[in-house]
A and B are shown apart, each in its own frame.
Chain A
Amino acid sequence: MGTTYSKEEILAQQLQTAFEHLITEVVRKDTVFAFATKEQVSSILLYAKEKLGYISFVHLSCVDWLESGEFELVYIIWSPETKINLFVKTRLDRENPSMENTDMIWRQINTYQREIREMFGVEFPGFVGEKEFILEDWEDAPPMRRDFDTLEYVNDTFFEREGREDKQDVRERIAKRSGEEIPDFAKKYSRE
Chain B
Amino acid sequence: MSFFDLKGLLRPLTGLSQFGKNPHTKRMDVLGQDTADRYRGFHYNDLNACIGCGNCSTICMNEAIDMVELAAEFNISQDKGNSGLRPRVDYGRCCWCALCVDVCPTGSLNLTKEYDYVSPDANSFLWTPGVDNPYGKDQLSFTSSVETSLMNFERIPMRELEGTERVKSFAEVVLGYNEEEARAEASRCISCSLCTEVCPDHMHIPEYINAIAKGNDDDALRIIYDNNPLPEMCGKVCTRRCEDVCAIAVRGEAVAIRWLKRYATERAQTSDLIKEIVNPEIQEANGYKVGIIGAGPSGLTAAYYLALRGFDVTVFEAKRFGGGMTMYGIPKYRLPMDSLDKQIGYLQKIGVKINFNTRVGTDITFDEIYKKHDAVFIGIGFEKPWKLGVEGEDLENSIPAVEYLRMINNEEIFDVGKKVVVIGGGNVAIDGARVAARHNAEVTILYRRRVEDMPADWEEIEGAEDEGVHIHPQAIPVRIIADESGKKVKAIEYIEAEMVAEEGARPRPVPIEGSNKIIEVDTIIGAIGQEADYSFISEEYVNKIELNRGRIVTNDQQQTSDAKIFAGGDAVNRTADAISAIADGFRAVKGIEAMLLKTKK
Tell me whether A189 and B208 are in contact in the complex, defined as CB-CB below 8 angstroms, given that A168-B67, A170-B53, A173-B83 are known contacts. yes
Whether B58 pairs with A183 at a CB distance below 8 angstroms is no
Q: Determine which of A168, A169, A186 lies in contact with B207 in the assembled complex, contact meaning CB atoms within 8 Å.
A: A186
Of A23-31, A135-143, A158-166, which stretch is located at the interface?
Answer: A158-166
- Chain B contact residues: over half helix, strand or loop, or mixed? mixed
Contact stretch, chosen from A7-15, A80-88, A174-182: A174-182
* Residue contact B214 to A174, C-beta cutoff 8 Å: no
Interface of A is mostly: loop
> Is the C-beta of A147 less than 8 angstroms from some C-beta in chain B?
no
Given known contacts A189-B210, A191-B206, A170 and B54 CB-to-CB distance under 8 angstroms:
yes
B572 at the binding interface (Cβ < 8 Å): no
How big is the B interface, by class?
Answer: 35 or more
A182 to B191: give the CA distance in the assembly, Å. Answer: 14
Given contacts A170-B52, A183-B223, contact A175 B193 (CB under 8 A): yes
B69 within 8 A of partner (CB): yes
**Chain B residues with Cβ under 8 A from A187's Cβ?**
207
- A4 at the binding interface (Cβ < 8 Å): no
Scoring A175, A177, A191 by chain B CB atoms within 10 A of each residue's CB, the highest score goes to: A191
Does B68 touch A at the CB level, under 8 Å? yes
Contacts of A169 in B (CB 8 A): 54, 67
Most buried by A among B66, B69, B222: B66
Give which listed residue, B66, B69, B193, contacts A171 with CB less than 8 A: B193
Nearest A residue to B210, CB-CB: A189
Q: In the complex, which of the residues A164, A185, A192 has the most CB atoms of chain B within 10 Å of its own CB atom?
A: A164
What is the CB-to-nearest-CB distance from B192 to chain A, in angstroms, rounded to a whole number? 6
B118 lies within 8 A of chain A by Cβ:
no
Q: Once the chains bind, are A185 and B219 in contact (CB under 8 Å)?
A: yes
Give the CA-CA distance A168 to B69 in the complex, in Å: 8
Q: Which of B172-180, B196-204, B424-432 participates in binding chain A? A: B196-204
Which B residues are CB-close (under 8 A) to A183?
204, 223, 226
Min C-beta distance of B317 to chain A, whole Å: 29
B211 beta carbon closer than 8 Å to chain A:
yes
Q: Is B550 an interface residue (CB 8 A)?
A: no
Query: What is the CA–CA distance of A173 and B66 in the complex, to the nearest angstrom?
Result: 13
CB-based contact B68/A167 at 8 Å: yes
Residues of A within 8 A of B190 (CB): 191
Taking the complex as formed, is A68 at the interface, i.e. its CB lies under 8 A from any CB of chain B? no
Are B207 and A189 in contact (CB-based, < 8 A)? yes
B22 within 8 A of A: no
**Interface size on A (CB < 8 Å)?**
26
Q: Any chain A CB within 8 A of the CB of B126?
A: yes
Is B85 interfacial (CB-CB < 8 Å)? yes
Chain B: minimal CB distance from A53 (Å): 39
Whether A179 lies near B206 (C-beta < 8 A) is no
Tell me if B194 is interfacial: C-beta within 8 Å of chain A: yes
- Are B197 and A177 closer than 8 Å at their CB atoms? yes
Contact A161 B202, CB 8 Å, known A182-B207, A191-B193: no
Would you call B67 and A167 a contact (CB within 8 A)?
A: yes
B90 near A: Cβ within 8 Å?
Answer: yes
> Is B92 interfacial (CB 8 A cutoff)?
yes
Q: Give the CA-CA distance A182 to B227 in the complex, in Å.
A: 10
Given known contacts A163-B123, A168-B68, A189-B223, is B196 in contact with A180 (CB within 8 Å)?
yes
What's the least CB distance linking B564 to chain A, in Å?
A: 24
Given contacts A170-B54, A178-B196, A191-B191, contact A161 B92 (CB under 8 A): yes
Q: Given A164-B90, A177-B197, A178-B197 in contact, is the A191-B192 Cβ separation under 8 Å?
A: yes
Does A6 have its Cβ within 8 Å of any Cβ on chain B? no
B373 CB, min distance to chain A CBs, angstroms = 26
Kindly name the residue among A168, A174, A178, A180 whose own CB sees the greatest number of chain B CB atoms within 10 A: A174
- Measured CA separation A180–B84 after assembly (Å): 17
Residues in A neighbouring B208, C-beta threshold 8 A: 186, 189
Q: A166 and B211: CB pair below 8 A?
A: no
A92-138 with Cβ < 8 A to chain B = none
B226 touches which of A170, A178, A186 (Cβ 8 Å): A186
Is B90's CB under 8 angstroms from A174's CB?
Answer: no
For A177, the chain B residues whose CB sits under 8 A away are: 197
Residue of B nearest to A165 (CB): B66
With both chains docked as a complex, state the minimum distance between the C-beta of B132 and any C-beta of chain A, in angstroms.
Answer: 14
- Return chain A residues, CB-CB under 8 Å to B85: 168, 170, 173
Distance of A86 Cα from B161 Cα, bound (Å): 51
Q: Can you list the 8 inter-chain pairs with the closest CB atoms, starting with the nearest? A: A167-B66, A170-B54, A180-B202, A189-B210, A191-B191, A186-B207, A189-B207, A178-B197
Give me 30 A-to-B residue pairs in the complex whose CB atoms sit less than 8 angstroms apart, sorted by A's number.
A161-B90, A162-B123, A163-B126, A166-B66, A169-B54, A170-B53, A170-B57, A170-B83, A170-B85, A170-B194, A171-B54, A174-B83, A174-B193, A174-B196, A175-B196, A177-B197, A178-B202, A179-B202, A180-B196, A180-B204, A183-B226, A185-B223, A186-B222, A186-B223, A189-B206, A189-B211, A189-B219, A190-B206, A191-B58, A191-B191
Question: Given contacts A164-B66, A168-B69, could you give 16 more A-B pairs where the C-beta distance is less than 8 Å?
Answer: A163-B126, A164-B90, A167-B88, A168-B85, A169-B54, A170-B54, A170-B57, A170-B83, A171-B54, A174-B197, A175-B193, A177-B197, A190-B191, A190-B206, A190-B207, A191-B210
| B positions within 8 Å CB-CB of A | 52-54, 57-58, 66-69, 83-85, 88, 90, 92, 122-123, 126, 190-194, 196-197, 202, 204, 206-208, 210-211, 214, 219, 222-223, 226
